[in-house]
Every structure is written in structure tokens, then in C-alpha cells.
């Protein structure tokens, strides 16, 4: 920690930063208004899949960057799971050095263009910004600025590839190509490892591809970042399910030393209420996969999707918001969120709820589905809802929803998306019996090193956390990379010690095994 603070101070004391600070008084900086993100108009964007947020212009970004006070004690960094040097990249923007700003981001973040779009900055860096903490003013728009710098570099056609040392010859693998795996791969490559990322699907990116819709995170933004990792020497293998196509043991025989399990929370939860298997009732995973990964909304693609007139999405998280906004874009007349608590308790980002409301989404809060009905072909056509009220706070600190007896009523629906959370995908734990798993199915790890009960296997992201965010998964990927590096170097040292002690080759090999 001390080393980090000294480093930050040294960076802050550089001439260009000092000079930039002196250009404008803090009082003048704090009087500037936070910039508004330019957006597509709601009645236009709810008919297309183009990105809602259009990004800041150079002038807007430089203006917003001026608001940052370049604090001597930059609390914002403590709110970032991947520890971006936030004041430094923002000051680079203020100085008009956009490419340099992007380079600062990439020192610690393998996917800045992704994070600038989907991170919940309002509960991370921006929440602990000086403006929010001490001045009760809107924080510096750190997320918008991150996206600006990353996009600027992507669009420049001149992406810098982070420097990598010569291969050290040690093969490591990530199982899963989602945010945890990609962040891990970037850091391991920077340390000289020979990294392979295995992916079960036919596209690299995991939840970034199958989960988050195009209007929030365009696929080409993800592809550019993946391409960059490839240039750093990271290998990607698609259509490969570790534990099925080949086991971890097979891969060890092929020379892989250590593994990160970043397989995500891939198993959708259902509510187990009558009629839930009728046609037209999807898990959010299925609905989003059909649209995002398989392009079902485009008639040129073979995968179909049922688009309804009255669509109900059950749940209040970001995934529910994504699903309900997709249904509107597919032409639904009535797209509804059905959530058992009030809008204040919704786990979705404030921005997503705001965007959904603007696009004409109805919110049926304090409502819960209790039964579905279908026509003679088995297609859902009605659902029974029950009203709820809020009682005492539960273990999560949120007020517990209590059903109101006799409040049930029936509405017409022809498509339903169940978005009530996911459980960890059991494929990997099932294939490694000695792996220590919780009763929830998540993999148990050491909190600091993310090492599992098998020393050469680390785990991070939703397979450990249950259901969290892209950036937390990326933070895990980075943490696991650092710990794996220490683990491997420790092993190498032990081997060298054995050799120095004149052990026989057989003994050394036994140890390696």
C-alpha cells in the first residue's frame, strides 16, 4: 500500500501534472457542471439495436476532465476493482493527450472500452470521488471519460499493444473467455506466460457476447479488445469445454502448469411456479443468447425467437432491464418489468432503469407472478400476478416483500422472460471431484490468492461470487494472475533448491508432479 501511495505521489509530482493543476483554480473547477452523456432519442432507439449512449466529443471530454481536482489523496482509485490510475488518465485527457490516456488505462485494465460502458461507476470510483464525498455534488464522470479515451484509441486505428517480455515457456490456461478470463490472460501475457483461453461457445467473450446487448455494449468493441490480447500472444480456443472435450488432467499432460476457472454463473434460475415450462417462457439467459449471440432478431440468421405483443420480464436486475428493452425493440406493444419489491430496491443500475422508463417500459413493482396459463398449443397467453407489500428488512438489508392475500389478478402475456438470477455452472466442479465447492455450487477459494483447494487451480468471477459484475470478475482475473505468478515462481524456486541439494532426477520429477 505504502509503495503504491509513493508511486502515485511521484506520478502526481511530475511537471506536466503540476503545471496542469496551476492552470485553473480548484474553486473554478468545482463550479463546472458535470457533462451529460449524449444519447439516442428514446422513441428512436427503442426501435433499433444501435448503442444508446453515443459517447463524449473531444471538447466534452476535455471539459469534464477539467472538473477533476487531481486530489493529493485520490480516493477514486480505492473504488476501482482493477486499480486504474484515475487522476493520471483524466489529466491526460485534460491535456489533450488522448492516446496517452488510453495507455494509462491499459496499464491495469485489459478491457477499458468495455468497462467504460458497463461498470457501475456510481457505486465504485464515482461514489468515492471528492465531489460526492465532500461537496455533495455530482462526481467527475470517470466512466464516460474512460470510455472516451478507450474509444478514441480504438477509432484511431493505432491501438498500442502493451509490451510483453519474451515467452517464459510456461503454459497456463483460462477456462472461460469472459471478463475474468480476459483480464487474467492480459496480465499473464504481460508477465511473459504462454496463455491459452478455452471457450465453450463459438464466440470469444463469454457474457460480454451472449449476455450484454448490442445497444449497451457493441460486439465490435469487445472484438477489438480481444484482438489486442491476441497481438500480445494470447491464444484462443473456441468450441472447447474443459472437463468434457478434454479434462484438466489431459491438459496438464499437454504441458499446462496452472489454470484459472472463470466459467461464470451459467445456470438460469426458475421460480418453479405452475405453467413455467409453457412455450414463450424463456430464461433471461436463453432470450439474451438468442438475440445477442445468435442474432435471432435478424431474419438472415437461422436462430428463431418468439417476439410477443405483451411481454413480461420477471426481475429487477440489469439482465431484466436488458431483456425488457430488447422485447420493446422486437416490437412489443407492452413491455413490462414485474418485480416483487419497490423500485428503490431494484438491483439494476440507476441509468438502466432510467433508460428503460424513457423507452416506454412499464414497471409493475410490488408484483409477483404466481401462475401461467397457455392456449391449446401450449403457448403462454395469460399470467396471474399477486400484489406485494414491504415488511421488515431481511438478511440482505432490503425490506422483505410479503404477498397480499386476495390481491391476485390476471393479465395477458404472450412472452415471458424469467430473470431471477443464475446459479454457478456445474460442468467444471462435476469434472473435478476434489475441488472444494460450496453448498450453492460456487467454488471455494482463498480470499487473497483466489487459489482453490487444488493448488494449481485458481478461480474467479461469477463461478466464485455467484452473480456479480463484469468489473469484479476482471478484478478477480487480475488478482488470480498475480497470485498464480507467485505460486509458479515459488514452485520453480523449490525445484531449483532440490536440484542444488543434489536430489536425483527421479525425486525432482516426483516433486514436479
Partner 1 sequence: MNRIVEKEYFSDAVVKLVVEAPRIAKSRMAGHFVIVRVGKKGERIPLTIAEADVEKGTITLIVQKVGVTSIKLCNLDVGEYISDLVGPLGEPTHIEKVGTVLASGGGVGVAPLLPIVEAFKNAGNKVITVLAARNKELIILEEQMRLHSDEVVIMTDDGSYGKKGLVTHGLEEIIKREKVDLAVTVGPAIMMKFVSQLTKKYNIPTVASLNTLMVDGTGMCGACRVTVGGKTKFVCVDGPEFDAHQVDFDEMLLRLNSYKPSETEAYESFLNKYRKA
Burial class (CB in 10 A: 0-12, 13-18, 19+), 469: buried
CB 208 within 8 Å of CB 184? no
Choose one: 295-303, 365-373, 381-389, 465-473; the region binding partner 1 (CB under 8 A).
295-303
The DSSP letter of residue 434 is T
Residue from the set 25, 238, 354, 486 that interacts with partner 1 by CB under 8 A:
238
What does the alpha-carbon distance between residue 140 and residue 83 come to, in Å, rounded to a whole number?
Answer: 17
For partner 1, the closer of residues 189 and 222 by Cβ is 222
Which of the stretches 61-69, 104-112, 273-281, 407-415 binds partner 1 when contact is defined by CB under 8 A?
273-281
Segments of 181-255 assigned E as strands: 194-198, 235-237
CB of 56 to partner 1, least distance (A): 34
User: Does 108 interact with partner 1 (rule: CB under 8 A)?
Assistant: no
Sign of the torsion formed by the C-alpha atoms of 479, 482, 485 and 490: negative
Record the cell numbers describing residue 71, joined without a space. Answer: 486530489
Task: Output 295 or 381, the one with its CB closest to partner 1.
Answer: 295
Which of 44, 202, 486, 489 forms a contact with partner 1 (CB under 8 A)? Answer: 202
Q: Is the Cβ–Cβ distance between 283 and 270 less than 8 Å?
A: yes
286 binds partner 1 (CB under 8 A): yes
Which span (34-42, 384-392, 425-433, 437-445) binds partner 1, by CB under 8 A? 425-433
Residue 345 binding partner 1, by CB under 8 A: no
- Spell out where 69-188 has E strands: 171-175
Which residues does 127 contact at the CB level (< 8 Å), separation at least 6? 79, 121, 139
289 binds partner 1 (CB under 8 A): yes
Count of residues engaged in binding partner 1, rule: CB under 8 A: 41
Among 184, 215, 236, 282, binds partner 1 (CB under 8 A): 282
Residue 301 near partner 1 by CB under 8 A: yes
Q: N- to C-terminal Cα distance for the chain? A: 36
Residue from 159, 306, 343, 482 touching partner 1 (CB under 8 A): that is 306
CB closer to partner 1 out of 289 and 365: 289
- Give φ, ψ of 487 to 5 degrees: -60, -45
The size of the chain, in residues, is 513
Contacts of 136 (CB under 8 A, 6+ apart): none
> Which chain residues interact with partner 1 by CB under 8 A?
200-202, 210, 238-241, 244-247, 266-268, 270, 272, 276-280, 282-283, 285-286, 289-290, 294-295, 300-304, 306, 377-378, 425-427
Amino acid at each position: 500500500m505504502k509503495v503504491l501511495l509513493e508511486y502515485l505521489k511521484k506520478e502526481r509530482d511530475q511537471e506536466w501534472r503540476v503545471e496542469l493543476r496551476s492552470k485553473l483554480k480548484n474553486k473554478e473547477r468545482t463550479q463546472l457542471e458535470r457533462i451529460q452523456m449524449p444519447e439516442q432519442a428514446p422513441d428512436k432507439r427503442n426501435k433499433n439495436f444501435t448503442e444508446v449512449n453515443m459517447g463524449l466529443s473531444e471538447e466534452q471530454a476535455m471539459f469534464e476532465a477539467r472538473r477533476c481536482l487531481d486530489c493529493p489523496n485520490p480516493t477514486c482509485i480505492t473504488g476501482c476493482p482493477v486499480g486504474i490510475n484515475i487522476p493520471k488518465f483524466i489529466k491526460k485527457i485534460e491535456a489533450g493527450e488522448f492516446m496517452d490516456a488510453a495507455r494509462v488505462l491499459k496499464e491495469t485494465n485489459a478491457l477499458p472500452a468495455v468497462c467504460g460502458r458497463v461498470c457501475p461507476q456510481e457505486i465504485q470510483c464515482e461514489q468515492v470521488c471528492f465531489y460526492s464525498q465532500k461537496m455533495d455534488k455530482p462526481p467527475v464522470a470517470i466512466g464516460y471519460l474512460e470510455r472516451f479515451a478507450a474509444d478514441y484509441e480504438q477509432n484511431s486505428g493505432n491501438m498500442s499493444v502493451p509490451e510483453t517480455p519474451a515467452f517464459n515457456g510456461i503454459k497456463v490456461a483460462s477456462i472461460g473467455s469472459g471478463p475474468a478470463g480476459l483480464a487474467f490472460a492480459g496480465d499473464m501475457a504481460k508477465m511473459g506466460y504462454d496463455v491459452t483461453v478455452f471457450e465453450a461457445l463459438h464466440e470469444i467473450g463469454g457474457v460480454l457476447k451472449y449476455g450484454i446487448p448490442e445497444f449497451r455494449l457493441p460486439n465490435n468493441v469487445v472484438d477489438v479488445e480481444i484482438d489486442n490480447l491476441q497481438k500480445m500472444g494470447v491464444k484462443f480456443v473456441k468450441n472447447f469445454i474443459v472437463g468434457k472435450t478434454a479434462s484438466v488432467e489431459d491438459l496438464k499432460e499437454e504441458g499446462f502448469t496452472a489454470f484459472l476457472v472463470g466459467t461464470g454463473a451459467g445456470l438460469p434460475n426458475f421460480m418453479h411456479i405452475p405453467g413455467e415450462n409453457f412455450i414463450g417462457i424463456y430464461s433471461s439467459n436463453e432470450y439474451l443468447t438468442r438475440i445477442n449471440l445468435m442474432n435471432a432478431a435478424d431474419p438472415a440468421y437461422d436462430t428463431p425467437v418468439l417476439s410477443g405483443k405483451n411481454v413480461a420480464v420477471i426481475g429487477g436486475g440489469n439482465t431484466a432491464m436488458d431483456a425488457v428493452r430488447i422485447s420493446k425493440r422486437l416490437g412489443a406493444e407492452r413491455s413490462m418489468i414485474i418485480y416483487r419489491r419497490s423500485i428503490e430496491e431494484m438491483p439494476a443500475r440507476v441509468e438502466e432503469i432510467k433508460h428503460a422508463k424513457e423507452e416506454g417500459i412499464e414497471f409493475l413493482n410490488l408484483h409477483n407472478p404466481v401462475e401461467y396459463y397457455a392456449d391449446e398449443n401450449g403457448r403462454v397467453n395469460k399470467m396471474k400476478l399477486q400484489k406485494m407489500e414491504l415488511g421488515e428488512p431481511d438478511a440482505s438489508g432490503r425490506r422483505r416483500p410479503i404477498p397480499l392475500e386476495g390481491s391476485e389478478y390476471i393479465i395477458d402475456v404472450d412472452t415471458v422472460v424469467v430473470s431471477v438470477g443464475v446459479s454457478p455452472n456445474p460442468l467444471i466442479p462435476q469434472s473435478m471431484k476434489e475441488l472444494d465447492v460450496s453448498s450453492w455450487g460456487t467454488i471455494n477459494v482463498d480470499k487473497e490468492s483466489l487459489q482453490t483447494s487444488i493448488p494449481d487451480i485458481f478461480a474467479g468471477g461469477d463461478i466464485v461470487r455467484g452473480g456479480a459484475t463484469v468489473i469484479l470478475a476482471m478484478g478477480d482475473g487480475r488478482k488470480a494472475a498475480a497470485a498464480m505468478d507467485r505460486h509458479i515462481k515459488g514452485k520453480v524456486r523449490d525445484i531449483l533448491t532440490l536440484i542444488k541439494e543434489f536430489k536425483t532426477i527421479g525425486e525432482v520429477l516426483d516433486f514436479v508432479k
